[in-house]
Amino acid sequence: MNGIRNSVYRFMSGRYGNDALNNFMLISVTIVMILNAIFFNSVIITILEEVVIVFIIYRSLSRNFSKRYLENNAYMKYRRIFKKRIVLLKKQLSDRKNRYYICPNCNQMVRVPKGKGKIVVTCSKCRTKFEKRS
């Protein structure tokens, strides 16, 4: 057993391995596979699933660290933006007295009182001014 483990370690040394983007793609393709098997049974979707799986394997075995790192960073950037939008939506739904906006310059969440009409909002972090309806 130890010999197999050492062989795998030697094979994977110098290769990129797994990251958050690969995990996201693997979970997504698994969900799509299950939905396709239950509801659609489409050959086109199956081919797309296989292409994504090959791409996941390619990224894991790649030796081009810089390119894979940049791809993962781009994914993480969009993931942070998406999470911030979800938090914003939750705050909008739970707080009846305030509105929440995201600064277009620095992505800082800004809270303003509701019902004041069109106002100029100043970001507390970067001091950017933008006009919104409250």
pLDDT reported for residue 43: 96
Model-wide pTM > 0.85: no
Please identify every stretch of the chain with a pLDDT value under 50, giving residue numbers as ranges.
none
Residue 29's CB: how many other CB atoms inside 10 A? Answer: 19
Which helix (H) or strand (E) segment holds residue 60: the answer is: helix 43-61
Q: How far is CA 16 from the centre of its chain?
A: 19
CA–CA distance, 131 with 113 (Å, rounded to integer)? 14
CA–CA distance, 46 with 17 (Å, rounded to integer)? 25
CA–CA distance, 70 with 8 (Å, rounded to integer)? 26
**Which residue do the tokens 């292409």 mark?**
51
Contact between residue 106 and residue 117 where contact means Cβ atoms under 8 Å apart: no
pLDDT reported for residue 2: 81
Contact between residue 21 and residue 75 where contact means Cβ atoms under 8 Å apart: yes
CA–CA distance, 126 with 105 (Å, rounded to integer)? 8
